[in-house]
A and B are shown apart, each in its own frame.
Chain A
Amino acid sequence: MSTTRTLRFRVFRFNAETDYLPAYKIYDLEVDEHELMLDVLDKIKWTKDGSFSYRRSCRHGICGSCAIKVNGKSIIACKDNVFELADLFETDELIIEPSRTERAVKDLIVDKKDFWSKYDAVKPYLVAEIDEHPVKENLVTPEDAELINEADQCIQCGVCYYACPAVEVNPDFIGPAALAKAARFTTDVRDDAKLDRLEIVNELGKGIWDCVKCYECATACPKGVDPIGKITTLHNQTFEEDMAEDNVATRHAVGFKHAIARHGLLDETEIVRYSEGTFGMVKHIGVGLDMMRAGKVVMPWNMHNSKNLDEVKKLIKSSSTTTFKGK
């Protein structure tokens, strides 16, 4: 016998055509231990209010259409179990909202144009000269296929995208899903547009350097795509392919190697100077003075080194795998 529980759902209701403001409606429902959030949505529509609107299609975590937020957690509704969510949030009342309330069109349906246009920007398709009459197969080894497997699982649900704080405050940021898709193709041995894509994702203000490394995307993705991991791949490829521009972001990443080679530890003032350049330091003067007043600045002559620094230096020599020509 399965157990049931009566839970309260506070549901975002809104019609962009008729409503000025959204309203949250309350539905008390008996829920079974096996039921998913999508079952709850169906129940509301089928037993409470036929006008309730949301997207769904496959019911199997494949189509990517059922993304919503429950108590702020970005999910696909056909995957997350209701009891588990209630237990996770230690509550009998769950709040159901669209992935991004600001983009709601009708109830849980959002206008996903922002997501798709960024997705388009990275050329989310294979670019290759295909021989229409091949005489032999175009072989991809299992090892090469393995490289793209994780990123290839993406179902474009937007769960990561609408969980990403950088997207929220920077509308230009391409975001985790599209960046993971870019990496999906830049690691594909058959693809010819690697450099084009790296150039697109490289751009300051939009691409890989605008990620804040919060790991929200990796945590939220229902398909194990690990978008931030793929962003790291793009960072690496940018240097490997010599596509890295000489700018504050690339110098900042490279600067760590120089800092560690020098002291073992990071000289925090020096990494800012190295990244920004001497003139770029001007905008940090205010913060710098505040920090100095508070006794937070280590003067260069007080900087000390890791013990056995020679080991660190040796390892940096022997284990470096990339170079940067910018500096």
Chain B
Amino acid sequence: MSKLRYALFAGCTPKGSTPELMMATMAVAEKLGIELVELEAASCCGASHLQDFDDFLSVVLNARNLCYAEKEGLDMVTVCNTCQLNVAGANLRLKSDSKLKNSVNEKLAEVGLNYTGSVQVKHFLYAILEDYGLDNLAEQVVKPLREMNIAPFYGCHNIRPTDIAQDSNGGESPYMPTSLDNLIIALGGNSIDYESKNKCCGFHADLQAPHTSHALTGKALLDAKDNNADYMVTPCPLCHLNFDTQQKNAAKAAGREIGLPVLHLPQIIGLALGIEPKKLGLDKHVIDTQLA
């Protein structure tokens, strides 16, 4: 297999409040021989909130982000579902709306850039699944996650809306997603089936409607827990923030203890590949990741 190379859209949260995700992503990529060229010029994707205030501006900024991947001549990889929604979403809109593309390019010309629509944007999960391949990954496993019951939590923006998922994430079904389950199994783990796995964590209303957010976070965590999960795993750092840093609030809202450790996608891959827990940032969680 020729070496896989991608432009990495790191995103703000992996560079900020989930440093462990960035550490684990880089460690896993290195171990698997996947080259991630970080786009240091990239700006925030707008996190699905900037669009509420100024939709056009949010498209322009993401078009600029895409220009940098185009300059590298590399497909883009994201490590956050919401980055995926915004950057892949802008890509899809620009590819299918030439009027929008022209007016965006007029703006980009002012800073010497031009968007052409030549790159794909996919979440790291799908780069592993579709390009690296689960069989290849399974061969690299040195510490199968044998004793672990893992609850896959997909996170909305990798699977919905369906047009973006279809265009970029291999058309994963929003009703019966399988990618994360298959990955867990390839790593030797036991993937838990539970109703909440394709539901919403509530993150995007954290400040505006905390009661809603906490209720949804608690619901999903308890559903996983009640189905015997030892861990939850998610490809999205924003889901992770709610599940990990807000877990106490969610427990309060639910009126029940939770105590479920939640890992990032590359952390479980890293563990199975035999990478040291510290290198995967497993000590940088609010909820202790080490099972007694």
Interface residue ranges, A against B (CB under 8 Å) = 71-73, 88-90, 165-166, 169-170, 173, 204-205, 209-216, 218-219, 228, 232, 235-236, 239, 248-250, 252-254, 256-257, 259-260, 264-268, 272, 275-276, 286-287, 290-291, 293-298, 306-308, 311-312, 314-316, 318-322, 324
Contacts and interface: CB of A to CB of B under 8 A. Distances in A.
Interface of B: 12-13, 15-19, 40-44, 46-57, 60-61, 64, 107-108, 110-111, 113, 156-157, 160-162, 173-176, 195, 199-200, 202-205, 207-209, 211-213, 215-216, 219, 245-246, 248-249, 283-286
Given A256-B46, A259-B44, A264-B43, A212 B52 contact: no
Contact of B174 (A219, A235, A252, A267): A219
Given A236-B53, A257-B50, A290-B245, 5 more contacts: A252-B207, A260-B46, A308-B41, A312-B61, A318-B110
A259 B47 CA distance: 12
A290 B200 CA distance: 24
Contact of B203 (A212, A219, A286): A212
B48 A209 contact: no
Contacts of B204: 211-213
8 contacts: A88-B173, A212-B205, A232-B51, A248-B208, A253-B50, A265-B43, A291-B17, A296-B245
A204 B188 CA distance: 46
Contacts, number: 207
A259 B107 CA distance: 20
Contacts of A213: 48, 156, 204-205
A306 B46 CA distance: 14
Given A212-B200, A215-B161, A260-B43, A291 B207 contact: no
Contacts of B174: 219
Contacts of A72: 175, 195
B57 A321 contact: yes
Nearest to A320: B57
Contact of A218 (B17, B161, B248): B161
A30 B216 CA distance: 39
Given A165-B200, A211-B205, A296-B19, A256 B49 contact: yes
B53 A256 contact: yes
A258 to B, nearest CB: 10
B52 A235 contact: yes
Contacts of B12: 265-266, 268
Contacts of B48: 213
A266 B12 CA distance: 6
Contacts of A312: 43, 61, 64
Contact of A214 (B15, B42, B160): B160
A113 B215 CA distance: 24
Contact of A170 (B60, B199, B209): B209
Contacts of A267: 16
Contact of A257 (B17, B57, B162): B57
A322 B17 contact: no
B15 A265 contact: yes
Contact of A294 (B43, B47, B64, B284): B284
A123 B212 CA distance: 25
A209 B208 contact: yes
Given A249-B208, A306-B42, A315-B107, A296 B17 contact: yes
Contacts of B55: 232, 236, 321
